[in-house]
């Protein structure tokens, strides 16, 4: 999938926040996209955040694995290494909350 298409998909998945504002529409990224961004570093604080996210919205392993394989990880060796190292940890965290 091309980069602009991935961005469009992410925009489709975004969630509108009801903040009671009359003239402003506020969105947040979908939980799965928040998790992917946090996997680019995946330190203890990020993992705590991911654990919180999967508790709020349990995600099946298959959906996570698909998202991992489709994610556009920046072409920076350090980020790629951290992202790949985080994969099994995130799957284990998600399995705890299913």
Going by the DSSP 8-state scheme, the letter that residue 43 receives in this structure is -
Q: What angle in degrees, to the nearest 10, is found between the helix axes of 77-96 and 61-70?
A: 170
| 58 phi, psi to nearest 5 deg | -55, 135
User: Please, what is the minimum distance in Å from the beta carbon of residue 79 to other proteins?
Assistant: 8
Distance CA 23, CA 65 (A): 38
Q: Tell me: does residue 92 bind other proteins (CB under 8 A).
A: yes
Q: Tell me: does residue 76 bind other proteins (CB under 8 A).
A: yes
Span from 10-18, 20-28, 43-51, 58-66 in contact with other proteins (CB under 8 A): 43-51
Give residues 44-73 in contact with other proteins (rule: CB under 8 A): 44-45, 47-48, 51
């Amino acid at each position: 999938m091309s980069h602009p298409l991935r961005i469009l998909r992410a925009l489709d998945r975004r969630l509108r926040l009801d903040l009671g504002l009359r003239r402003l529409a506020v969105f947040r990224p979908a939980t799965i996209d928040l998790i992917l961004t946090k996997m680019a570093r995946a330190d203890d604080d990020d993992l705590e955040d991911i654990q919180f996210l999967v508790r709020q919205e349990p995600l099946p392993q298959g959906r996570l694995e698909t998202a991992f394989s489709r994610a556009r990880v920046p072409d920076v060796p350090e980020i790629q290494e951290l992202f790949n190292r985080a994969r099994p940890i995130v799957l284990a965290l998600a399995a705890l909350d299913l």
